[in-house]
Amino acid sequence: MAQKAAKIGKIRSVTNWINGACRDAASDRWADVFDSATGEKCAEVVMSSAADVDAALQAASAALPGWSRTPVLRRARIMFKLKELIERDRAEIAALITQEHGKVLHDADGSIQRGLEVVEFACGIPHLLKGEYNDQVGTGVDTYSMRQPVGVCVGITPFNFPAMVPLWMFPLAISCGNTFILKPSEKDPSCALKWAELLTEAGLPPGVFNVVQGDHVAVNSLLSDARVSAVSFVGSTPVAEHVYKTASENGKRVQALGGAKNHLVVMPDADMDQAADALVGAGYGSAGERCMAISAIVAVGDSAEPLLEKLLPRIEKLKIGNGLNNDNDMGPLITAEHRDKVRSYIDIGEEEGAKVLVDGRTHEITDSPGYFLGPTLFDHASRDMRVYQEEIFGPVLTMIRVDTFDEAIQLVNDHEYGNGTAIFTRDGDAAREFANGIQVGMVGVNVPIPVPLAFHSFGGWKRSLFGDMSIYGPEGVRFYTRLKTVTSRWPTGIRAGADFSMPTM
Ligand code: NAD
């Protein structure tokens, strides 16, 4: 990696990327970044000031006129090259994710793959930006529409997907002709510089893509600056609400994706082996630090006992340890503070009266001293409990038992979050009714994590998304462009003389 971010193994100094190069920041505030599997400091990252944000905005604003007029095929070719470079370096990127975030290497690699698919989608940008045309909408009059870039765009991203979530944003923003400033999570900031380096190697002109490291100080400077046209945010719901409100009050286009509590409904006729496999993967993969993780099990009718019979031995067998060992299923949590917060939820659930069937607090991790917590399973939870209502964002599954399918639907619909959900059943009618009636943005039928592929769009409902448009895919193209419609008439029409009444075609 570039000058300031040395190889894994040393303590990196992670700074900003502005106008085509790593820059020393004006700010003298720094934060430590930890290897979550060992608990050792592996990097430090600058907490940018308003002056640093201003430098990035100057670069992005200066690059905008040239980049937005660059022919779309040339912009697409940068994406083709970026795809090649990500494929070349994906092992290095996966190791960086594993070190700073903690997820197991194969999982880190999978997240790169899902991000890469957005780059592949962006390679087709000439086709995606094709407008519409009608000739002879009136005598000698034609109308056509085009989608033009919105301007300087900002992306603010969470810790749990340091590679994938930025890739949900900048490939489309840039290929649509915008310039971009990424403000990554301060907990795992190094990937952002890797994107900057690869884009530069791919031939992107300076200033089109910039990185500002930091915390709420940098975010709030970006949200209030008139040079920013659009803001994509992904993170927790309270911050998403703040970003949505502030940025929209300041006249920006905003999409703010927030937190989740994703239910997996198990019908009595489900294939219980399939449901149990789905639950361990979707509940404990990435240590539950996924916005599409399953965190609530809804056992319908008499499905709970046969499900538990299959689920408990699978939880028992989970291998937990350093993510650099690809044989492990689950790595550590991101920080000691977050691990303690998740552990405190297990205390809360127990006090609230949920039955602790598997207790992650007692799990011994032998191969690494970092921020580990074993998997937890609660049974007999009820809808008023905090462990059911709140997003825990850790390896904790909470089971609620209900009598009927209708009760299951009601439960999911009553929850404040609506990111993802799934039903496991063999019954087509139940599945169809579920998909149609559920108040959730992304639905799986016998698929536990229904993250749409890059040529569809990703987004939740209710308090999981603030704004009108989902992220990436066709909705992403709409978000990063605005519509212009041209109505034209050529000289013979003008020779007919001036017309002073309202045109009616
Ligand atoms: P977070 O909200 O703490 O941080 C997200 C970003 O906002 C970071 O860049 C952070 O620096 C910045 N930020 C934090 N506090 C801020 C403040 N007060 N003012 C301005 N900016 C602030 O989220 P996180 O802990 O990094 O990530 C986990 C959360 O993200 C979970 O809630 C998870 O569900 C959610 N998430 C949602 C999706 C989705 O697609 N809906 C995807 C991934 C993660």
Ligand 1 atom closest to the CA of 338, numbered from 1: 25
pLDDT at 485: 97
Q: What is the CA radius of gyration of the chain?
A: 25
DSSP string, 66-107: HHHTS-HHHHHHHHHHHHHHHHHHHHHHHHHHHHHT---HHH
Separation of CA 261 and ligand 1 centre (Å): 15
Mean pLDDT of 283-303: 97
For ligand 1, is residue 160 a contact (CB within 6 Å)? yes
For ligand 1, is residue 394 a contact (CB within 6 Å)? no
pTM, two decimals, is 0.95
pLDDT tier at 494, thresholds 50, 70, 90: low
pLDDT at 493: 57
For ligand 1, is residue 94 a contact (CB within 6 Å)? no
Q: How far apart are CA 476 and CA 169, in angstroms?
A: 8
CATH of 15-132+153-258+464-480, picked from 3.90.1150.10, 3.40.50.920, 2.40.50.140, 3.40.605.10, is: 3.40.605.10
Ligand 1 atom closest to the CA of 237, numbered from 1: 32
Tell me the CATH class for 262-445. Answer: alpha beta
Q: At what angle do helices 72-100 and 105-122 cross, to 10 degrees?
A: 170
Residues contacting 7, CB < 8 A, separation 6+: 1
Give the 3-state secondary structure of residue 281: helix
Q: How far is CA 128 from CA 76, 148, 167, 402, in A?
A: 11, 12, 18, 45
Separation of CA 425 and ligand 1 centre (Å): 33
Catalytically active residues, by annotation: 291
Are 242 and 164 in contact by the 8 Å Cβ rule? The answer is: no
Amino acid at 189: P
For ligand 1, is residue 291 a contact (CB within 6 Å)? yes
pLDDT tier at 505, thresholds 50, 70, 90: low
pLDDT at 128: 97
Residue that is written with structure tokens 């009444």 in the block = 501
For ligand 1, is residue 420 a contact (CB within 6 Å)? no
CA dihedral 269, 388, 338, 443 (to 10 degrees): 50
Q: What is the pLDDT of residues 65-83, one digit of tens each?
A: 999 999 999 999 999 999 9
pLDDT at 164: 98
Q: How far is CA 66 from CA 6, 59, 155, 391, 479, in A?
A: 32, 12, 21, 44, 21
Q: What is the best residue among 160, 257, 286, 471 to mutate for testing ligand 1's pocket, by most ligand atoms within 8 Å of CB?
A: 160
Order of strands across the sheet that contains 179-183: 21-23, 16-18, 209-211, 179-183, 152-156, 228-234, 253-257, 465-466
Ligand 1 atom closest to the CA of 460, numbered from 1: 41
Given a cut of 70, whether residue 389 has pLDDT beyond it is yes
Domain(s) of CATH 3.40.605.10: residues in the chain: 15-132+153-258+464-480
For ligand 1, is residue 241 a contact (CB within 6 Å)? no
Q: How far apart are CA 37 and CA 370, in angstroms?
A: 4
Separation of CA 37 and ligand 1 centre (Å): 21
Mean pLDDT of 55-68: 98
Residues contacting 20, CB < 8 A, separation 6+: 200, 205, 206, 207
Q: What is the best residue among 239, 335, 337 to mutate for testing ligand 1's pocket, by most ligand atoms within 8 Å of CB?
A: 239
Q: How far apart are CA 438 and CA 421, in angstroms?
A: 9
Given a cut of 80, whether residue 1 has pLDDT beyond it is no
For ligand 1, is residue 239 a contact (CB within 6 Å)? yes
Q: How far apart are CA 283 and CA 293, in angstroms?
A: 6
Alpha carbon 303 to chain centroid, angstroms: 33
Q: What is the token pair recorded at 254? A: 């905003």
pLDDT tier at 363, thresholds 50, 70, 90: confident
Mean pLDDT of 264-291: 97
Separation of CA 39 and ligand 1 centre (Å): 22
For ligand 1, is residue 158 a contact (CB within 6 Å)? yes
Amino acid at 358: V
pLDDT at 491: 77
